[in-house]
Structure 1
């Protein structure tokens, strides 16, 4: 046997593709931290050198294990203290404290619009903190005086990025996986929800599509990024199926079961509602205008914290605010500081919180409003975490708006990540045992390691190529896909036995042309391949869910086998068995 014959062109093609498959799968040993998926173009983070595929392991020296620990560390890191500034104008000097906003707008250096915390500042601006202001340097000075914290990000490569900021990094992150393989809900764990749109008229395809888009947007805004949604029709009823890997049942149920109708009322009259119509901006991931504070023990032997975040109202909503506050009287018990009515917040007709209205806002078209609410827990840390969670939910509803239709949760299933890990381990074990079992049977029949060893190598190569292709096209590996892999490997064993039998039969019939033997074998293999395609393609085009996943994986597997691993296997046998 010559080594040159063993490593022919077909074998080298297989080896090269196996290398590409390993690169596509990209196995990793350390999975702590978060992976940078994208960096906003032109952001400060991009300018200082943060790039995609870097793994962040700590934030301000706090170790990061996953996305929740990263989010909590960022939220704590960007909280800033109010900063006092001195603004000098042609009308005098004004001293006040700022967080995320300098408090006024300029037009040709003339102050034309102010916020309620700026002590009624007016006139033409001269300086800020004794720095002379011009039309060209105003924005630079403004950025310098806004309070900031040092944010230090460390990566697994040993790099550190430290910079001043008051907002969350402009990057998108995900948990670090051991490989690039995307695991489906069955293996990764998460929640599957079956929803039915409810309306007093026949629901159209567009309404279902709009509802699905709003739900996806709401879940994305909340921070759940690995979402798959599709529509289905069962018994003439249009349904929406949502699959969210890594999400808990309680989180998903709480987010999607709410209609999401947010209302702010004064004296039981609506000032503004959630969504883009009335709300133009919601502060999020910015410690200067979205934070948790005032944590302490309450009378129920527990702890509570208060969250605050600012929003900006549209001109129409600001006018409604002015109209509803114009005729209110001053609360005598407040020493002239507040009006006698409060701004009450409701979510799906349930009371959330109430805010006092300062007398300076009476009859004013206020475009900036601060929203607040409580968080509770058995410890101070638990109360703080609950406050952040409640703030995130309320921000999500305000940004995404209410659902276009009512929905009924038909079914909600939660699959534990632990159960998913068990599925993965059992699947790997079953595939390995199957390969060993098949190899043992073939050895008993043919009594030759020259036949068995190439079969084992070919089967393992086939599995690796299928997984590499799945990683390349980002196909979710679930239980149906694993069944497809097993089916493809099973047909591979059949094809390899056909090749062996044709070679043996050729020897018995004294057919000395080796190519003729292989040709006869591949005629049978291609006939079986076409039959498999004919049975799988209908499932691919008309099937849904598990059936489609099984069909896709089976087609990919048998195609890789017929065009890559079977020819390489035939080359192996030719080098090992052909007599000189």
Structure 2
């Protein structure tokens, strides 16, 4: 028994691969969870599981939304910083642009030598290329050229923020990645399986800035302290919830640390509230009572501002106000952002939580293309893919039988080719890589190249007549395997650029074609040779 296993270890390796693929495909332990990310996540490859197996499907086979758009902005390259640090450069350029804040201008130092050169970008959609170049020159900096688009750092940050928005919204299987077209232009590609296009566009369309202002009434002419808490001042952000009286709210806490000698954001908010309370004539320690229209309120109001629009105004609980005016609140700086009880208030609270958790987009998405595949159409693609796979198997099986007319040669060939595909499916489930039409095309290519290699083996070992001797069989098999190995190396080299470049669906095709070739060379081809040796030799 042990001797037999040693002699036929290649067949044993194939059996182990099939068993391992079965476990990965059907065992609950390998089932993907909502929002889980596999290796494919790095390539934007996430999908949803089909329920029967642990396989995941992409947009083509499961339906969903795909959005492809550039990031809006201009980037000046090889800017001479003249010894200024990047923050100073950004501030100086922003100062030369009317109605543009410093947050819309960013500078990145590339070469620290000789004063330093780098890139300067503007992400304000209202700034033209002419205005941007004029601002750089007015600020006293020289540059090599200006191109449309943003820096690599901004693209990476934007992708990270959009991924955060998708994950916080609970859109399982969503993915975001950068792709480059034939002209070298960079785009952000967003794919969300199973979701409507309008919902996805609304989620990512806004930059999602959130801040808190304080409105202070003063003899009918109110003043407004803007940005007492901004996006970066929030530390812990909870999920949207409902409290007493069906009030929707988001629990948050404010950052309570700062560089030595500076007030923390929590202390700054505490001071602003105390000053507002005093400026309003100290309405009392029972808290602030804010009316629905904050402009008509007789007491101060906290204003929740999202994307520059006041979405809610609310007062302050007496205990919270007392802790702020006494100076103790900053030691435990937590409170609730309430959005009210009206229709849509809970959805607004959810959006606020998403914006706070995910952050603001460093740059806006420009005009691009979007597409939506309905779940019904996705099911049709699944059906057509299955039919195509079955037809390809029957076509290959028919040609093999016509070629050899010997079941001892043809049947092992077909079974070996099918086990290769089955093992490849196991790899897809293990990696968490979703199946789409490009991956299916890769599977079909693997079937074709796999059977070609098996035909080479069969033809070589049977081409010179009697093959009953194991020694003769091994000699002929080695010659065939050298041909197969060279062909496999050629395929891997040819497919490698498609696998590593940002070419969208072609990456999936290349990845699984290469995986199939490797499985074939390392597992299935040697196993088929072992099977033929057992069937065709007797000495």
Query: What residue number does 1:433 align with?
Result: 391
How far apart are residue 257 of structure 1 and its match? 0.8
Q: 1:312 aligns with which of 245, 249, 253?
A: 253
Query: What residue number does 1:325 align with?
Result: 277
Q: Deviations over 1:414-445 (max 9, x none)?
A: 33344333333322222122111211222223
Q: Is the 8 A contact 1:458 1:565 kept in 2?
A: yes
Query: What residue number does 2:381 align with?
Result: 423
The 1-side partners of 2:408 and 2:436 are apart by 35
Under a length normalisation based on structure 2, what TM-score does the superposition of the two structures give? 0.68
Q: 3-state SS of the aligned residue for 2:339?
A: strand
Query: What residue number does 1:252 align with?
Result: 200
Alignment of 1:501-580 (within 5 A): 501-507=459-465, 513-542=472-501, 544-578=503-537
Q: Which moved more, 1:235-244 or 1:358-367?
A: 358-367
Q: Which moved more, 1:529-538 or 1:262-271?
A: 262-271
How far apart are residue 491 of structure 1 and its match? 0.7
Q: Which has the higher strand share?
A: 1
Matched, 1:487 2:445: yes
Query: What residue number does 2:11 align with?
Result: 11
Q: 3-state SS of the aligned residue for 2:360?
A: coil
Q: Deviations over 1:114-149 (max 9, x none)?
A: xxxxxxxxxxxxxxxxxxxxxxxxxxxxxxxxxxxx
Matched, 1:282 2:237: yes
How far apart are residue 310 of structure 1 and its match? 3.3
Change (3 A) 1:521 1:271: closer
Q: Which moved more, 1:487-496 or 1:308-317?
A: 308-317
Q: 3-state SS of the aligned residue for 2:12?
A: helix
How far apart are residue 258 of structure 1 and its match? 0.8
The 2-side partners of 1:510 and 1:369 are apart by 84
The 1-side partners of 2:288 and 2:231 are apart by 34
Change (3 A) 1:419 1:196: same
Q: 1:340 aligns with which of 270, 289, 299?
A: 299
Q: 1:451 aligns with which of 404, 409, 421?
A: 409
Query: What residue number does 1:291 align with?
Result: 242
Q: Is the 8 A contact 1:231 1:239 kept in 2?
A: yes
The 1-side partners of 2:383 and 2:490 are apart by 32
The 1-side partners of 2:334 and 2:489 are apart by 66
Query: What residue number does 2:337 align with?
Result: 371
Query: What residue number does 1:180 align with?
Result: 54
Q: Which moved more, 1:20-29 or 1:560-569?
A: 20-29
Q: Is the 8 A contact 2:468 2:537 kept in 1?
A: no
Matched, 1:196 2:70: yes
Q: 3-state SS of the aligned residue for 2:208?
A: coil
Q: Is the 8 A contact 2:467 2:537 kept in 1?
A: no
The 1-side partners of 2:6 and 2:387 are apart by 30
The 1-side partners of 2:49 and 2:340 are apart by 29
How far apart are residue 233 of structure 1 and its match? 3.6
Q: Is the 8 A contact 2:57 2:434 kept in 1?
A: yes
Change (3 A) 1:556 1:198: same
Q: 3-state SS of the aligned residue for 2:365?
A: strand
How far apart are residue 10 of structure 1 and its match? 1.7
How far apart are residue 4 of structure 1 and its match? 6.1
Q: Is the 8 A contact 2:249 2:336 kept in 1?
A: yes
Under a length normalisation based on structure 1, what TM-score does the superposition of the two structures give? 0.63
Q: 3-state SS of the aligned residue for 1:406?
A: coil
Matched, 1:399 2:369: no
Change (3 A) 1:400 1:321: farther
The 2-side partners of 1:16 and 1:337 are apart by 71
Change (3 A) 1:355 1:543: closer
Structure 2 unaligned runs (5+)?
A: 38-47, 76-120, 122-149, 216-222, 255-265, 291-297
Q: Is the 8 A contact 2:424 2:516 kept in 1?
A: yes
Q: Which has the higher helix share?
A: 2
Alignment of 1:352-391 (within 5 A): 352-357=311-316, 361=321, 364=325, 367-373=333-339, 387-391=345-349
Change (3 A) 1:389 1:455: farther
Query: What residue number does 1:21 align with?
Result: 21
Alignment of 1:145-224 (within 5 A): 177-201=51-75, 202=121, 203-224=150-171
Give the number of aligned pairs: 418
Structure 1 unaligned runs (5+)?
A: 39-173, 296-305, 377-382
Q: 3-state SS of the aligned residue for 2:67?
A: strand
Matched, 1:473 2:425: no
The 2-side partners of 1:337 and 1:488 are apart by 70
Change (3 A) 1:282 1:533: closer
The 1-side partners of 2:436 and 2:289 are apart by 61
Query: What residue number does 1:351 align with?
Result: 310
Change (3 A) 1:336 1:241: closer
The 1-side partners of 2:353 and 2:283 are apart by 30
How far apart are residue 358 of structure 1 and its match? 6.0
The 2-side partners of 1:5 and 1:576 are apart by 16
How far apart are residue 355 of structure 1 and its match? 1.4
Query: What residue number does 1:95 align with?
Result: none
Q: Which moved more, 1:190-199 or 1:250-259?
A: 190-199
Change (3 A) 1:326 1:34: same
Q: Higher RCO, 1 or 2 (CA under 8 Å, sep at least 6)?
A: 2
Change (3 A) 1:36 1:402: closer
How far apart are residue 411 of structure 1 and its match? 2.5
